């Protein structure tokens, strides 16, 4: 890593960051404004040396600061990488329970985007990279997970033309030695940073993180951009609120289901007990009837 440049505004900032990169608008703004950061981030996740990359250009730029409609604009970043592959990057904080299908849709849509006159051989490899601030799969505890189209028996990859990568921002401590070698854990810590003090520690002796920090600081100072970041933050808060309500109802449902199952077991046990008692009563009544018959026979014989 090269030595950081001359001290910039964020070096003197203190306290809480106004908008960090888990804000999907800030995430897009930083990557759109700083190509070095864009390239470095992609190379880090894909385990590619930065000096091996010749170009990376955003294919769906937006006018930063211009109002966006949260219902129609998805802030994913679509990148033509080295003129050989298409990479889609997306920051997702709230679990809207559609990530699997949405990410797959983006992946397939980008792969099938052939232009007039192109053949199937012209289809470029596509990669979807999701930075998630929630647990995607309950049984998946990795920091970085890569998914391919593969034969589950032979483990043979059908094609390396499609890839879906998921970075779990809540499992930084599970980063492998390879993840740390490529600095993916440092990016995750930058995304999750809450204070300028944290960012300065990350930017120390890391010129790319310093560039990202400078962009965050400068973009936060732009009120038009800050308003859009706040709008996205408000949207995320509402989505989290909805999710919390759903989670609460699910817990209540689970509690009810457990109580229902426990009651059903008690009911079944009671039914079995009653059946056993009725069977025992029937046996005793049968014995009593037989005994009564014997006693009656004895009286007659006397």
Q: What is the pLDDT of residues 33-46, one digit of tens each?
A: 999 999 999 999 99
pLDDT value, residue 213: 94
Q: pLDDT tens digits, residue range 234-261?
A: 877 777 777 777 777 778 787 777 878 8
Cα–Cα distance, 213 to 34 (Å, whole number): 11
Query: Given a cut of 90, is residue 3 above it in pLDDT?
Result: no
Question: What are the Cα distances from residue 253, in Å, to 235, 241, 261, 265?
Answer: 27, 18, 12, 18
pLDDT at 2: 39
How much is the average pLDDT of 54-61? 89
Q: What is the pLDDT of residues 254-287, one digit of tens each?
A: 777 787 887 888 888 888 888 888 898 988 888 8
- pLDDT of the residue at 8: 56
At 300 the pLDDT is 62
**What Rg, from alpha-carbon coordinates, does the chain have?**
31
pLDDT at residue 72 tops 60: no
Q: Quickly tell me which residue has 């189209």 as its tokens.
A: 149
Averaged pLDDT, 102-125: 88
What does the pLDDT read at residue 70? 59
Residue 266 or 173, more confident: 173
- Mean pLDDT throughout 69-93? 82
Q: In terms of pLDDT, which residue wins out, 70 or 85? A: 85
**What's the confidence (pLDDT) of residue 302?**
58
Q: Which residues contact 16 (CB under 8 A, 6 or more apart)?
A: 194, 195
Q: What is the mean pLDDT of residues 85-89?
A: 93
Whether the per-residue pLDDT at 7 is higher than 50: the answer is no
Cβ count near 60 (within 10 Å): 14
- Is residue 145 within 8 Å of 165, Cβ to Cβ? yes
**pLDDT score for 1:** 41
- Read off the DSSP letter of residue 60: S
- For the cut 60, the answer to whether the pLDDT of residue 177 exceeds it is yes
The yes-or-no verdict on residue 129 having pLDDT over 50 is yes
For residue 27, is pLDDT > 80?
yes
Residue 296 has pLDDT above 90, yes or no: no
Whole-number mean pLDDT of the chain? Answer: 86
């Amino acid at each position: 890593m090269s030595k950081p440049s001359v001290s910039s505004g964020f070096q003197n900032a203190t306290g809480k960051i106004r908008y960090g990169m888990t804000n999907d608008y800030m995430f897009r703004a930083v990557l759109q404004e700083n190509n070095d950061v864009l390239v470095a981030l992609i190379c880090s996740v894909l385990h590619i040396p930065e000096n091996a990359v010749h170009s990376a250009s955003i294919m769906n730029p937006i006018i930063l600061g211009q109002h966006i409609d949260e219902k129609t604009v998805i802030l994913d970043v679509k990148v033509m990488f080295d003129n050989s592959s298409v990479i889609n990057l997306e920051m997702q904080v709230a679990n809207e329970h559609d990530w699997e299908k949405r990410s797959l849709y983006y992946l397939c849509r980008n792969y099938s985007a052939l232009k007039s006159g192109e053949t199937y051989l012209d289809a470029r490899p596509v990669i979807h990279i999701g930075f998630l601030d929630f647990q995607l799969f309950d049984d998946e505890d990795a920091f970085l997970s890569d998914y391919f189209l593969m034969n589950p028996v032979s483990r043979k990859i059908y094609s390396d033309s499609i890839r879906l990568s998921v970075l779990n921002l809540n499992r930084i401590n599970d980063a492998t030695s390879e993840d740390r070698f490529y600095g993916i854990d440092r990016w995750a810590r930058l995304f999750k940073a809450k204070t300028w003090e944290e960012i300065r520690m990350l930017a120390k002796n890391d010129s790319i993180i310093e560039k990202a920090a400078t962009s965050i600081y400068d973009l936060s100072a732009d009120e038009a951009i800050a308003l859009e970041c706040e709008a996205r933050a408000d949207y995320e808060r509402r989505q989290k609120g909805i999710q919390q309500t759903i989670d609460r109802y699910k817990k209540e449902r689970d509690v009810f289901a457990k109580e229902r199952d426990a009651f059903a077991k008690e009911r079944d046990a009671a039914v079995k007990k009653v059946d056993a008692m009725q069977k025992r009563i029937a046996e005793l009544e049968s014995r009593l009837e037989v005994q009564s018959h014997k006693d009656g026979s004895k009286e007659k014989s006397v």
